[in-house]
Amino acid sequence: MVILLALKNNKTYLENLQLEATNSIKMISSEEEIENWRIDYIGRKGKISNFFQTFKDLKSEEKNELGSLANKLKNTLEKLYKEKLKIITDSKSNIQTEFFDFTLPGTPFSSGSIHPTNQMMQEICAAFNKLGFNIFEGPEIESENYAFDKLNIPTNHPARDIWDTIYVNDIENIKSLVLRPHTSPMQIRIMENNQPPIRVVIPGKCYRYEATDNTHEWHFHQIEGLVIDKNINFLNMKATLFEFARMIFGDDTKARFRCDFFPFVEPGAEMSINFKQNEWLELMGAGMVHPKVLMNVGLDPEVYSGFAFGLGIERAAMIKYGIDNIRDFYANDYQFLKQFK
């Protein structure tokens, strides 16, 4: 029946055959399928070969015309076959080349780590915790009363100047709140809400209105320490801080104390250490809690005494790790930070 129809309308048959072959080859994705397609359309017993058998009895002019059309179609289908075979072969080759062995170990990836400032803070807190200190935290915005007045810092002290402290003005533009310049206000808050004995350290971020350089930043981290009890003396302070220095910097660490002034302690001292160098490096300020500070929180200085100290966390890290520039901590330099993994 198909042959009879083809004889009646050979040109239409060739057009339909081309459309059928073109559409069917688009659906092929394997070597087996493309080979079956070749046999079906351009093979020795395929549809093109069968078509040539149908017009042998036609006139010479009709044979030439149909033969030319059939040969043209055959060439077109052979070209389609070669192109599709190449696509399938190349695809198979790529799959073999990109083969992945899922039994192999995974590719290592870089993991994050704790920032060196936080590492140092945790190490310092852990050391004081072993010495019997509790850990407290406090607000970063403080009132002048807690930041200065109750710490025996007079109103005309340079630290209270707008060029040294960052003030947070209220709606009436009155200087009353500050970004805390130190963690010392927590001394007052803790003594107001806790009865002696007190043994605490307070880590946290501080802010000061000052130019930055290799050793100064406008924001930094500090740890405040406070001990209040009966019969606490300067020797207790020296022994505690010396033991802390040995825990952080090693058993060979040497420490010395020199007189210094801080409004909230009397006497005051500066503690320096000799750590793997031939020079002394200042580590912290310390001293015996001033009697006025004790009275400001309702404690009798004739009964209770104590000592306080404060050290910069970045400063401790710079000494321990030999870092020259405090700004390196906050530059987000991966080459710097990855050293502390």
Catalytic residue ranges: 163, 182, 208, 222, 265, 308
| Cβ–Cβ under 8 Å, residues 218 and 212 | yes
210 vs 141: CA distance, rounded Å: 18
**Listed residue (214, 191, 184) closest to 296, CA to CA:** 191
Alpha helix stretches (DSSP H) within the chain: 2-8, 10-26, 31-42, 47-54, 60-97, 116-130, 144-147, 185-193, 234-249, 291-296, 313-321, 334-337
215 vs 299: CA distance, rounded Å: 37
SS (H, E, C) 320-337: HHCCCCHHHHHCCCHHHH
36 vs 25: CA distance, rounded Å: 10
Residue type, 132: G
| Cβ–Cβ under 8 Å, residues 20 and 65 | no
Question: Cβ of 32: how many Cβ atoms within 10 Å?
Answer: 10
**Contacts for 274 with CB less than 8 Å, ≥ 6 apart:** 253, 254, 255, 256, 280, 281
216 vs 43: CA distance, rounded Å: 87
